[in-house]
Chains A and B, each alone.
Chain A
């Protein structure tokens, strides 16, 4: 299936601010030095519709890159929704060797292919950089008898199938895998947890508030309002260290459960990019994550700085693929 190229007009706001910035040029010139540089606008794909997590990542990073002149060509955000990402990935996969196509990504690039719902997986693309991450929060109502994640695991072990846990995404997706992996690491059979999929973390937390389920999984930042108000309590977070959004919450590791799950966010490119091309983008994104503008925006969104360059990101993806594949096999969802 060949799709003609689609070019987008640049963000009105971005171009306006770009104009402003050219007026006071000379800030941070292109990061790459003498190597390869893009010679036309970059098609920056969010494989989802406007308003979602990928779209936010794409538009936020494009704005920071352009406003601060980190990159010398405009970043044109193009939405390619459909198939949980598969439509967008197929589009990029067809652009072998094109150095002007990038896309934003996160764990579904591993999970969707593992579920047999995409013909392309992470090995079909060029890793550029991992930018940020965010842990999951395991939540209960304030009046719940459970106090740590180990209590939850114990409940699952003692009375398999008694505990309903709400999550904001479908079976075999991030929330489910992050829950199952932690339960398994705690020493219980993850397939006996009754995972109830809802449409988004908000709905999952509402169901928990109403007492329709006993626990819920959501992104740490989504939970912060109801945790701060005292309606919900966090058993643990899944990251390897504590986060600013929920500063008093212990990690799974602190509670003696050896498991880490991050909703990482990164950027990949079309297959077959050269080393110089990768190096250019790698440097640009590295520079971006050090900017105050980026730090401010991500802090508000609850994302934690977690940069990795192309090579490290690639290895990380391979490792994650193995790990998630194991968990999905254990809960019987691998295709």
Chain B
């Protein structure tokens, strides 16, 4: 996880670049002159762009440590605790989970380097998306599930293939037959 954690200044610079690009683009939004309008389409975007720039500056110059503008040495207990991992709503610090007494599960994936692992996952999702329409929902989904299950080291390879086929078929029938939602069919006749 640490590999994807950048220094606060790096993050601040990235946000700053985004803010500048956004602000420039916001100033290129044309004025609306046909009818008199008190607030232009560009007004709020410009304000937002500048606000983001300001926030990036704050982030750049404040103390590192991801604990708010507090000068306190033990900030984690000041405002609210950092929530545990996996909540998606405020993990200011993302610690590795402590080793559980119940034993470790096999690590998903095959690479030593976590960065390669993430890249492999991203690549697999992109491949899935790229093949979604050409191969059709049924084939691409079944292949994706089976392939990923194998790659991530599911104990029984046939279980992955079976689940892939079963889930994609159930979803396909449920959505396109039952609910009349069109999913791509690809070369298959249905």
Contact = CB atoms under 8 A, between A and B. Distances in A.
B186 A4 contact: yes
A79 B35 contact: no
Contact of B182 (A12, A79, A171, A332): A79
Given A4-B133, A8-B176, A171 B35 contact: yes
Q: What secondary structure prevails in chain B residues at the interface with A?
A: loop
B35 A6 contact: no
Interface in B116-142: 133-134
A11 B178 CA distance: 8
A6 B137 CA distance: 11
Interface residues of B, number: 16
A6 B182 contact: yes
A332 B33 contact: yes
B180 interface: yes
Contact of A161 (B36, B134, B184, B185): B36
Contact of A195 (B35, B186, B190): B35
B35 A331 contact: yes
Contacts of B133: 3-4
Contact of B34 (A9, A12, A191): A191
Contacts of B178: 12
Contacts of B184: 4, 6
Most chain B C-beta atoms within 10 Å of own C-beta, residue among A6, A78, A191, A195:
A6
B120 to A, nearest CB: 27
A19 interface: no
B177 A332 contact: no
Interface in B142-183: 176-178, 180, 182-183
A264 to B, nearest CB: 26
Contacts of B134: 4
Contact of B35 (A4, A12, A191): A191
A333 interface: yes
A115 to B, nearest CB: 11
B69 to A, nearest CB: 39
A76 B186 CA distance: 17
A259 to B, nearest CB: 20
A332 B180 contact: no
Q: Which of A4, A10, A76, A332 has the most CB of B within 10 A?
A: A4
Interface string A58-100: 0000000000000000001111000000000000000000000
B34 A8 contact: no
B35 A8 contact: no
A212 to B, nearest CB: 16
A84 B8 CA distance: 41
A191 B133 CA distance: 47
19 contacts: A3-B133, A4-B134, A4-B186, A6-B182, A6-B183, A8-B176, A9-B177, A10-B180, A11-B180, A12-B177, A12-B180, A77-B180, A78-B182, A79-B182, A171-B35, A191-B35, A195-B35, A332-B33, A332-B35
The 7 closest A-B CB pairs, nearest first, are: A332-B34, A8-B182, A9-B176, A9-B177, A4-B133, A6-B182, A11-B180
